[in-house]
Amino acid sequence: MRNATAVVREALSGTGIDVIASCGAAEYDACAPAHFRSDRLLPGARGVVVAASAGPALWRGFRNEADARPGLWDLPHPYDAFVAGLLARADAALEAASVRFVRFEAAVEAPVRVSFVALGRLAGLGTPGPFGLLIHPEHGPWWALRGAWIVDADVEPSVTATIPCAGCAAPCIGGWARAGGIPEASPEVRGRCVVGQGSRYDDEQVAYHYDRAATLARLRRG
């Protein structure tokens, strides 16, 4: 049986959801609430694979798809629908590799809500910054978890997370004394982070994340 992390990475290569990492089931269970532990959701599970997007590539792929399929704009959450279709590629690849799994999504209307912040930390993809978001060592605050799979196959061990904010004066928020939670993570604050500005989202993507209804209305009008 192939390593499940590699299966997901290969399936999502080139989609914009190409930041892939994982952790063992024991690490996950040590942090998960009882009703989300692997033995409750998938007896025999051995690990968790998480998948994230970084930078503007995923959004640009979505806009190209929306241009080709205008009916996508009629869906309540077109971006989430596009992402779900990409995650389904990993589902199919895991099935082809005979890997049993349970998938989580970070979509607005995901049927099961899990802490993707916790999953990202467990896999070593980022550490909390002074404004609540996980800061990735390469992409800074310009990335997001999109999906995760509890799997009954071997996975790669979690990566050793570097701490981009260590020793930083936190100019993003005007100093650590003003540290807060995710509600503080405005576009201006993210734009002042000293890490990952090469991965900054496109302006339209930023607008969508911070005022989805207004941005969708504008995009639907063309």
pLDDT in tens, 14-36: 999 999 999 999 999 999 999 99
DSSP E strand boundaries for the chain = 19-24, 47-54, 101-105, 127-128, 134-135, 143-151
Residue 106: DSSP 8-state: -
Tens of pLDDT, residue by residue over 66-105, are 999 989 999 999 999 999 999 999 999 999 999 999 999 9
Is pLDDT at 130 greater than 80 in this prediction?
A: yes
Q: Name the domain count of the chain.
A: 1
pLDDT in the model for residue 110: 80
Estimate the crossing angle of helix 4-12 against helix 78-96, to 10 degrees.
130
pLDDT in the model for residue 113: 74
Q: How far apart are CA 111 and CA 89, in angstroms?
A: 19
| Residue 210 CA to its chain's centroid (Å) | 16
Q: How far is CA 59 from CA 29, 63, 151, 197, 203, in A?
A: 33, 6, 28, 16, 11
Domain region containing 159: 4-221
Q: Which helix (H) or strand (E) holds 154?
A: none
pLDDT in the model for residue 1: 64
